[in-house]
Structure 1
């Protein structure tokens, strides 16, 4: 019985090698570039998100563009639409339990003449992080 248990335990730890529980760490700038950063004395004029707003935004982001999607492998215009730097986002908290998250691609940044009707989406997310509805 012990050899079977050890074998199963060994196989389960190997799941990490196949992409399960995979977490991509954020890239850090080189120290010489980072040393030039000066933090402001206050972030008061910045945009403030509550924890529930961030949770709703994360759910909507993962649905709109699934994690692990490689934009470089997609044809145009999908390649452009899959890059976060070309997407404008709005979050509206209607109540403690209802958020709307809107994704609107800025097609001007994608290149001249690119026309994609209905490229964005709006999600209704509840306070438990569940998608209630989607509007294209």
Structure 2
């Protein structure tokens, strides 16, 4: 191979590893979706308003805490598999200031059928809502 082409090729291939590919969530087949009936309004007694800034901060922190597509190691126990699932965690969020949102993930007590207590499997994130960066993480 021509040496003049080797360096740009290596640079291009290493740059590809920096790209993060987005995968759209799975959708139900059309016939299953057609059977679902939406209510006229969201039920008032269980409805929650999550401001867009908070929802975005939660998503950003969750993508770091439990990245989409992350899987436990081969031969993982049921409890270890549970700890990898995003839905195993409760989320608490609160503004720390106008520029910073705090997002805390706490293992839901009902999530994993554990024989022994799982200690502190959560984390707290400080998210800069101006630049959408993770400022700090407290395990």
Question: One fold, TM greater than 0.5?
Answer: yes
Alpha-carbon distance between aligned partners in 1 of 2:76 and 2:90, rounded to the nearest angstrom: 21
Residues 23 and 42 from structure 1, CA distance in 2 versus in 1: closer, same or farther, beyond 3 angstroms?
same
| Structure 1 residue 99, shift from structure 2 partner | 0.9
Which residue number in structure 2 is paired with residue 121 of structure 1? 123
Residues 20 and 34 from structure 1, CA distance in 2 versus in 1: closer, same or farther, beyond 3 angstroms?
same
Three-state SS of the structure 2 residue aligned to 1:108 is coil
1:53 paired to 2:54:
yes
1:22 paired to 2:21:
yes
Unaligned runs of 5+ in 1: none
| Structure 1 residue 108, shift from structure 2 partner | 2.9
Residues 113 and 132 from structure 1, CA distance in 2 versus in 1: closer, same or farther, beyond 3 angstroms?
same
| Structure 1 residue 61, shift from structure 2 partner | 0.7
Unaligned runs of 5+ in 2: none
Does the CA contact (< 8 Å) of 2:106 and 2:120 recur in 1? no
Residues 74 and 114 from structure 1, CA distance in 2 versus in 1: closer, same or farther, beyond 3 angstroms?
farther
Residues 108 and 49 from structure 1, CA distance in 2 versus in 1: closer, same or farther, beyond 3 angstroms?
closer
Which residue number in structure 2 is paired with residue 132 of structure 1? 135
| Matched ranges for 1:71-86 at <5 A | 71=72, 73=74, 75-76=76-77, 77-86=79-88
Residues 36 and 110 from structure 1, CA distance in 2 versus in 1: closer, same or farther, beyond 3 angstroms?
same
Q: Match for 1:96 among 90, 95, 98?
A: 98
TM-score of the aligned structures, taking structure 1 as reference length: 0.71
Residues 74 and 107 from structure 1, CA distance in 2 versus in 1: closer, same or farther, beyond 3 angstroms?
farther
Three-state SS of the structure 2 residue aligned to 1:29 is coil
Number of corresponding residues: 128
Alignment RMSD (CA, Å): 3.1
Does the CA contact (< 8 Å) of 1:71 and 1:80 recur in 2? no
